[in-house]
Structure 1
Amino acid sequence: MVYTFRQLSVMFFVLTIMGCSSLGYPDKGHGGMAESFQDISMDEYQFSPVMPDEPLGPEHGLRFDWQLAKLQLDALIAEGARWCFPAAVVQALEKQNRIARELEGGLIIDAANDLVIQRKRLNELEQQLDYVLSEISCTPPADITSLRSDLETVSNIYELLNIDNQFAVNSAEINPKYMGHLAEAAFILRGQPSLSLVITGHSDITGDPIHNNKLAQDRAEQVRRYLNIFGIAQARITTESVGDALPLFEGNSEATRLSNRRVSIEVLDVNSSRP
């Protein structure tokens, strides 16, 4: 359907030769999840793979990968993903914009980790869209205003679930502040039965990989347990673990380890469940 990796690479090369690789993604505070959807074109997110008069470095490979992900997301949007899976698209836009800011700020490891997550997310979205388009066509809804309101809700839920979610050392116990965010997110989710969650558990780098993977899974399961208590059906929640494989930040300082003891949560449409 959309494009193979080889086709995307060729497209990127052609665009570069034609001089279409300018820098111009939204400033901080603009281009948020629901805001992005008002103008879903990715033109404003262009990021130069090689800055003028800049010596080549390892970060340029990541900029190339960012551009390939952008082209893949562009293609998915053009095929109708924004109408079939709007929540997934706006979160992909948010992630793409975040990676661009990380690259500009020199946060190379952070950008690399987020690109791994983004490419996985886009490949899953491509599979889902292929399946749906084999059965139906995706068209804009009659009520765009209502759609934008729904996306604002998704954005709010996403932010509540992905903040203040750190854990103590070697523990799956949820801190009280995050418990409050879970309760607030669950209250909103009870009125949005079309939304489901994917909870991914993470650990810091202390401990052996087997232990870290189990600990990260326990953290994801603990979050699901409390969401169940707050009224969200277990069938709406999927859990998984990546152990210490995808840290939020690189390093071994106490502050870094705290940030990496976490869960990350995606908000999905029920009909866009992972294949």
Structure 2
Amino acid sequence: MKNNFYQHLLILCSISFLAACSSSYPEKGSGGLAENDFSAGFSPVLPDEPLGPEHGLRFDWQINKLHLDMLVQEGAKWCFPAAVVQNQERQNRIARELEGNLLLDAANDLIIQRKSLNKLEQQLTYVTSQADCTPPNNQENQQQELTTINTLFTLLNVDNQFAHNSSEINPKYMGNLAQAANILDENNELTLSITGHADASGSVDYNEKLALDRANQVKRYLSIFGLNPKRINASSLGSSAPLFQGDTAAVQLTNRRVSVEILSKSNTSASTNPRGLL
């Protein structure tokens, strides 16, 4: 798959470059569902400007987008729909950061996105070596589930979750957890993977424990709000994977967080067929 990906990637890069240099665009309203995506109006090309760091970041953004598009074509949309939705949301966030000239934030998110796409590619390679990723029998139900996953991702991955040196949850985030628990109660096929993080102000061992306490605290409150704890996995990365780089108060506030991935059991099992079976 990897060789196939890079062959297609070279072709798509050339097509994208030629398309970006063209002055002909479809009229608004004729671009299909992609017009609802922030990145649909985001151009990786900056014409008539001196080359600078932003050009390189926008090129990396385009490479990641092509990588994600290729994985979708290979079947990731059907085998790992939740992962695809969350990678698309992160791709949109990077585009917003680049448009807002938040270059350091975009650079760090690009690293996270690249790792996430590589992980998705490895998972897809393993699955497609044994089965075919095919559309589910009821695509309308899957679309509803993906909308739910996107809502949960937005609720659970907001900024300003914890105070400094604390695992106590901020009241606003507490409200988000209550909403998420209610949604999850109506969607039994979804589970959560919660990873705790800390800013870089403490020692490695201390940050590891604090980050795990934060993940477990989120798990605890989701359980209090009615979610079965068996549907939640909690782990820690300490301060080893900051969302943003830097030591300002705002950056540290953002890095004191949990990152939550929503996993779907029903879609994965329903959309894979063993090789050789009709």
- What TM-score, normalized to structure 1? 0.80
Kindly state the Cα deviation for residue 47 of structure 1 after the two structures are TM-superposed: 5.3
Structure 1 residues 20 and 245: alpha-carbon distance in aligned structure 2, compared to 1, 3 A threshold: farther
Which AA in structure 2 matches 1:143? N
Equivalent residue for 1:117? 112
Kindly state the Cα deviation for residue 171 of structure 1 after the two structures are TM-superposed: 0.8
Is 2:10 aligned against 1:10? yes
Q: Which residue of the other structure, out of 260, 263, 272, is the alignment partner of 1:265?
A: 260
Kindly state the Cα deviation for residue 40 of structure 1 after the two structures are TM-superposed: 10
Structure 1 residues 20 and 246: alpha-carbon distance in aligned structure 2, compared to 1, 3 A threshold: farther
Is 2:96 aligned against 1:92? no
Is 2:209 aligned against 1:214? yes
Equivalent residue for 2:238? 243
Kindly state the Cα deviation for residue 219 of structure 1 after the two structures are TM-superposed: 0.9
Kept after mapping to 2: 8 A contact 1:45/1:97: no
Q: Which residue of the other structure, out of 186, 198, 223, is the alignment partner of 1:228?
A: 223
Kindly state the Cα deviation for residue 111 of structure 1 after the two structures are TM-superposed: 0.9
Kept after mapping to 2: 8 A contact 1:158/1:265: yes
Kept after mapping to 2: 8 A contact 1:47/1:63: no
- Partners of 2:153 and 2:181 in 1: how far apart? 11
Equivalent residue for 2:155? 160
- Partners of 2:71 and 2:65 in 1: how far apart? 10
Equivalent residue for 2:19? 20
Equivalent residue for 2:275? none
Structure 1 residues 261 and 41: alpha-carbon distance in aligned structure 2, compared to 1, 3 A threshold: closer
1:163-207 CA deviation, whole Å, 9 max, x = no partner? 365211111112233223212211221222221212122222322
Kept after mapping to 2: 8 A contact 1:8/1:72: no
Q: RMSD across aligned C-alpha pairs, in angstroms?
A: 3.1
Which AA in structure 2 matches 1:258? L
- Partners of 1:46 and 1:140 in 2: how far apart? 28
- Between stretches 135-144 and 262-271, larger displacement belongs to 135-144
Equivalent residue for 1:196? 191
Q: Which residue of the other structure, out of 77, 97, 107, is the alignment partner of 1:82?
A: 77
Kindly state the Cα deviation for residue 12 of structure 1 after the two structures are TM-superposed: 5.7
Equivalent residue for 2:130? 135
- Partners of 2:69 and 2:96 in 1: how far apart? 19
Kept after mapping to 2: 8 A contact 1:220/1:239: yes
Kept after mapping to 1: 8 A contact 2:79/2:133: yes
Kept after mapping to 2: 8 A contact 1:8/1:71: no
Kept after mapping to 2: 8 A contact 1:196/1:269: yes
Kept after mapping to 2: 8 A contact 1:66/1:100: yes
Q: Which residue of the other structure, out of 177, 196, 202, is the alignment partner of 1:182?
A: 177
Structure 1 residues 125 and 56: alpha-carbon distance in aligned structure 2, compared to 1, 3 A threshold: same
Equivalent residue for 1:173? 168
Kindly state the Cα deviation for residue 140 of structure 1 after the two structures are TM-superposed: 2.5
* Identity across matched positions, percent: 55
Which AA in structure 2 matches 1:267? I
Which AA in structure 2 matches 1:19? L
- Between stretches 137-146 and 98-107, larger displacement belongs to 137-146
Q: Secondary structure at the match of 2:131?
A: coil
Q: Secondary structure at the match of 1:52?
A: coil
Kindly state the Cα deviation for residue 69 of structure 1 after the two structures are TM-superposed: 1.0
How many aligned positions are there?
258
Kept after mapping to 1: 8 A contact 2:108/2:245: no
Kindly state the Cα deviation for residue 138 of structure 1 after the two structures are TM-superposed: 2.4
- Partners of 1:254 and 1:167 in 2: how far apart? 13
Give ranges in structure 2 of 5+ residues lacking alignment.
Answer: 23-31, 270-278
Give ranges in structure 1 of 5+ residues lacking alignment.
Answer: 24-35
Kept after mapping to 1: 8 A contact 2:159/2:254: no
Is the radius of gyration larger for structure 1 or structure 2?
A: 2
